[in-house]
Chain A
Amino acid sequence: MTRRRRLFPPGAKVGLTTTIPVEVVLAAGLVPMDLNNLFIAGPAPLARVAEAEAAGFPRTICAWVKGIYAVLKQHPDMAGVIVACQGDCSYTQALGEILEARGVEVIHFQFPYPRNRTLLGEEIRALMARLGASPAEVRRVQSELEPLRHDLRRLDRLTYETLQVRGRENFQWLIAASDFEGDPVAYSRKLKDFLAAAARRSTFPARVRLGFAGIPPIFSNLWDYLEELGAAVVFHEMPRQFSMPHAGPDLVGQYLNYTYPYDVFGRLADLAEAVAVRRLDGLVHYTQSFCFRQMFDQLLRERLNIPILTIEGDRPTPLDSRTRLRLEAFVDVLRP
């Protein structure tokens, strides 16, 4: 048996700028840390954005990218960062180069565009080789994660079928599925306890069932405000995608079914299914200021037969008064 050369020692923390095949990171014995989650769930995320701007990041770029940069500075123990330089956005690609210039060990990962099984397989094998993960270890991790991914699908069903899981909870559990908070075993245990408690709850009395399309909203009090209005959020497009709702025949299949890094048509099919299956009354299209994905708004409106409200967020703050008014009016016209 040949001994694999490892880039990082086992147990080292590796930052992620977006969801990538985390099974490979875990199979290499490393601790994945999604920098988006560290940023938004950490103390004072708004201060992180200001720090990045003070360091020279322009006002007119995505706040998530600035948050990732600043939060990384707060975690000097991060051994390296995996950057998706295709399938995410050009801001992240530039961020990767800035990090390299600052001496950070950057590992590139490319989701092929257009979606391509062969190329994705090669890319995953390259990542395995770089991190030192064997195919057998990756297969083992994937099968060990399967019960956990199954529980995440159950969590999602308790959100839209029985309304026992609230919108905020659905969002937080699903976005955390990109790195399992660095510890899949502990995360899985916590999730089982949560599901057992949620299954005993009563149904949320929703007047309106909403879905969210787009990247994770950056607003801090979105769900509480919508619940005040009597609206339940029973679908989060991207956070659900991060949890890998469609298990593939193998790891490559699983990440081919993942919609986020590929063309908008896969997203549209996923959204249309959610509209029907989850009996949505309306869809809120969350767009991030300065993000190229804002351009897809027109296609969502053309292709999806459902009322759509588009909102835009910039920084990690509570909802501004204009967005509150728009959400209030949207819920008000959707209710019976």
Chain B
Amino acid sequence: MFYGRDVLRDGAKGNKPLPNRAGEGGAPGPLKGLGGGSGGRAGSLAPLPSPQHHSSPPTACGLDFGSRFVKLVYARGDGRWGRRKLDSLDFYRDCLLREGGRLAIDWPRLGLAPPRTLVATGYGKNLLKEHFPTITEVRASFLGARRLTGLSHFVLLEVGGQDTKVLYIRDGRVFDFLTNDRCAAGTGRYLENMARFLKMPLTEFAQAWEAPVDISHTCAIFGESELVGLLLEGVEPRRIAAGVNASVARRALLMTRRYPCPALVFVGGVAKNAAVVRLLEGESGLPVQVPPHPQFHGALGCCLEALKLAREGA
């Protein structure tokens, strides 16, 4: 597994658990280091600290309103970057202000100064589009992944909470894309449901790749019935988990295989599942590249668009 450029890397090594406010740090310079952020925790927002007054408030912010998490990437005037991840329902409930038909983001509650420009995308884009500039998820993914990887010819596989997308990028342009946006089969929601059903923590589930059993249904709702049968046959839960991970990898490869390109970049929340990554490599025979912070590429794409808008408006 190859990890691309850590454009959004933390100041400290590794993806440390993050405070519930904007952190600092990261190497200086354009698009280097993205302090603060997400980590595994995306819990309740209350109580929040008082707003932090940074010497360099965010100049531009990208917001990816996903089905499970809201991801924010912001660029500061001093060349530093920040990121945040929040549960989508918490964000919807606690961070959106409704004032006389207008919708605004409660920046103080997020512990951030309001950015000069904001661009949004994602599942919740329709909620925001009357109030903020929005771009499609495909554009956000493309811009973010191109920046994160520095590649101009690759297949981008994105498996998120409720949908899967594949983009074929050639000459730095999107030549084609596929989406399965009508069904959560084989997505993060399916993996979460199956892990819960097996009573296995997601971290353990995401390590299960050896001796996978054959699983044919990747439906997020009805997948359980197949698992019941396997449990009753006495199959080890870890092998079942591996089978679930393998079914996700196989399903994803059905979408990526039509593109003649050896560079496969994997993003979205499911890219943090090491077993799926390993199984993708095994099934495809190709190295799979997972950029650092693979959930933030969409928000980064929005942030890059917001910076562009800021430049055009200047």
Chain A interface residue bracket vs B: 10 to 19
Expressed in whole angstroms, the Cα–Cα distance for A334 and B175 within the complex equals 9
Residue contact B175 to A332, C-beta cutoff 8 Å: no
Q: Chain A interface (Cβ within 8 Å of chain B)?
A: 301, 306-310, 322, 325-326, 328-330, 332-334
Interface positions of B from 138 to 180, Cβ below 8 Å from A: 138-139, 142, 173-177, 179
* Contacts A307-B174, A308-B175 given; does A329 touch B139 at CB 8 Å: yes
A-B contact pairs, 8 of them (CB 8 A): A301-B175, A307-B175, A307-B176, A309-B176, A326-B179, A332-B139, A333-B138, A333-B173
Residue contact A332 to B136, C-beta cutoff 8 Å: yes
Expressed in whole angstroms, the Cα–Cα distance for A333 and B136 within the complex equals 8
- Which listed residue (A301, A310, A328, A333) contacts B174, Cβ 8 A? A333
Main secondary structure of the interface of A (DSSP, over half): helix
Query: Taking the complex as formed, is B64 at the interface, i.e. its CB lies under 8 A from any CB of chain A?
Result: no
Residue contact B138 to A329, C-beta cutoff 8 Å: yes
Chain B interface residue bracket vs A: 10 to 19
**Nearest chain A CB to B130 CB, angstrom units:** 16
Interface string of B242-282 (1 = CB under 8 A from A): 00000000000000000000000000000000000000000
**Nearest chain B CB to A76 CB, angstrom units:** 44
Query: Taking the complex as formed, is B135 at the interface, i.e. its CB lies under 8 A from any CB of chain A?
Result: yes
Q: Chain B interface (Cβ within 8 Å of chain A)?
A: 135-139, 142, 173-177, 179, 181-182
Question: A306 contacts which chain B residues (CB < 8 A)?
Answer: 175
Expressed in whole angstroms, the Cα–Cα distance for A306 and B175 within the complex equals 7
Expressed in whole angstroms, the Cα–Cα distance for A306 and B173 within the complex equals 9
Main secondary structure of the interface of B (DSSP, over half): mixed
Residue contact B138 to A308, C-beta cutoff 8 Å: no
Residue contact A329 to B136, C-beta cutoff 8 Å: yes
Residue contact A332 to B138, C-beta cutoff 8 Å: yes
Residue of A nearest to B171 (CB): A305
Residue of A nearest to B138 (CB): A329
Residue contact B182 to A322, C-beta cutoff 8 Å: yes
Residue of A nearest to B308 (CB): A336
Expressed in whole angstroms, the Cα–Cα distance for A310 and B175 within the complex equals 11
- Which listed residue (B173, B177, B182) contacts A329, Cβ 8 A? B177
- Which listed residue (A307, A322, A328) contacts B136, Cβ 8 A? A328
Residue of A nearest to B135 (CB): A332
Question: A326 contacts which chain B residues (CB < 8 A)?
Answer: 179
Expressed in whole angstroms, the Cα–Cα distance for A307 and B175 within the complex equals 4
**Nearest chain A CB to B124 CB, angstrom units:** 15
Question: A334 contacts which chain B residues (CB < 8 A)?
Answer: 173-174
Expressed in whole angstroms, the Cα–Cα distance for A322 and B173 within the complex equals 22
Expressed in whole angstroms, the Cα–Cα distance for A330 and B167 within the complex equals 11
* In the complex, the 4 A-B pairs of residues with the closest C-beta atoms, listed nearest first: A329-B138, A333-B174, A332-B136, A329-B136
Question: A301 contacts which chain B residues (CB < 8 A)?
Answer: 175-176
